[in-house]
């Protein structure tokens, strides 16, 4: 019985044994997000716990090595996945179909995870070569390099399909 471990940000980190997941939950380091049906684990002391299917860490963990080796390569498709395919301007709920350079290329901005966000065409064209603070715009979240998605077998991917986004390329 395996359990999907999510980072505090709800990004999938890895798959752990149910015993490891239970230890994390009981020690307060993780919370249960999804229960495995109505299965119950009984401890040696007689206490009963619902068996987890997905747990989430209470504090964010980052792995320097993981970041260096597994960050998805920047692409528009990958950026769309990171930004939920939505315009990242905080007041906007439009589909994000264009890539905006926060520091425009004309002002030395690079094409990178930290400098690019998805925007709807209207916001992108209104932004032009300005900076966000010059327009008084805020983003839904600050753009970060995603921690690489874990590699799951197809069976496991579908088991946790709500949590594990399709691989970005």
C-beta separation of 79 from 29 below 8 A: no
| C-alpha dihedral sign at 57, 78, 81, 160 | negative
Distance CA(116)–CA(101), nearest Å, equals 5
Burial of 35 (0-12, 13-18, 19+ CB in 10 A): middle
Member of 41, 66, 92, 165 binding Zn ion (CB under 5 A): 92
Residues 6+ apart with CB under 8 A from 125: none
Q: Which stretch binds Zn ion (CB under 5 A): 45-53, 69-77, 81-89, 135-143?
A: 81-89
Cross-strand pairs, 50 = 40
Cβ at position 121, least distance to Zn ion in Å: 8
Member of 94, 97, 114, 140 binding Zn ion (CB under 5 A): 94
Q: Which stretch binds Zn ion (CB under 5 A): 1-9, 10-18, 31-39, 89-97?
A: 89-97
Count of residues interacting with Zn ion (CB under 5 A): 6
Which tokens is 154 given?
Answer: 């197809």
Cβ at position 94, least distance to Zn ion in Å: 5
Q: Does 89 bind Zn ion (CB under 5 A)?
A: yes
Helices (H), 29-169: 64-70, 76-82, 121-127, 132-135, 154-159
Q: Which stretch binds Zn ion (CB under 5 A): 17-25, 50-58, 59-67, 112-120?
A: 112-120
Member of 3, 24, 54, 87 binding Zn ion (CB under 5 A): 87
Per CB under 5 A, which of residues 26..55 are in contact with Zn ion? none
3-class SS of residue 39:
strand
Q: Does 11 bind Zn ion (CB under 5 A)?
A: no
Q: Does 123 bind Zn ion (CB under 5 A)?
A: yes
Distance CA(62)–CA(67), nearest Å, equals 8
Q: Does 120 bind Zn ion (CB under 5 A)?
A: yes
Q: Which residues in this chain contact Zn ion in the complex, by CB under 5 A?
A: 87, 89, 92, 94, 120, 123
């Amino acid at each position: 019985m395996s359990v999907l471990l999510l980072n505090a940000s709800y990004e999938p980190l890895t798959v752990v044994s149910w015993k490891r997941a239970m230890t994390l939950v009981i020690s307060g380091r993780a919370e249960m997000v999804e229960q495995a049906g109505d299965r119950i684990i009984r401890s040696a002391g007689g206490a009963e716990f619902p068996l987890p299917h997905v747990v989430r860490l209470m504090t964010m963990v980052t792995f320097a090595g993981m970041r260096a080796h597994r960050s998805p390569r920047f692409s528009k498709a990958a950026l769309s996945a990171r930004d939920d395919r939505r315009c990242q301007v905080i007041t906007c709920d439009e589909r994000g179909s264009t890539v905006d350079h926060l520091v425009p290329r004309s002002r030395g901005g690079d094409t990178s995870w930290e400098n690019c966000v998805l925007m709807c065409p209207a916001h992108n064209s209104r932004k032009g070569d300005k900076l966000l603070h010059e327009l008084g715009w805020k983003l839904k979240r600050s753009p970060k390099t995603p921690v690489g998605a874990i590699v799951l077998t197809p069976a496991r991917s579908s088991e946790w399909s709500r949590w594990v986004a399709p691989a970005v390329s």
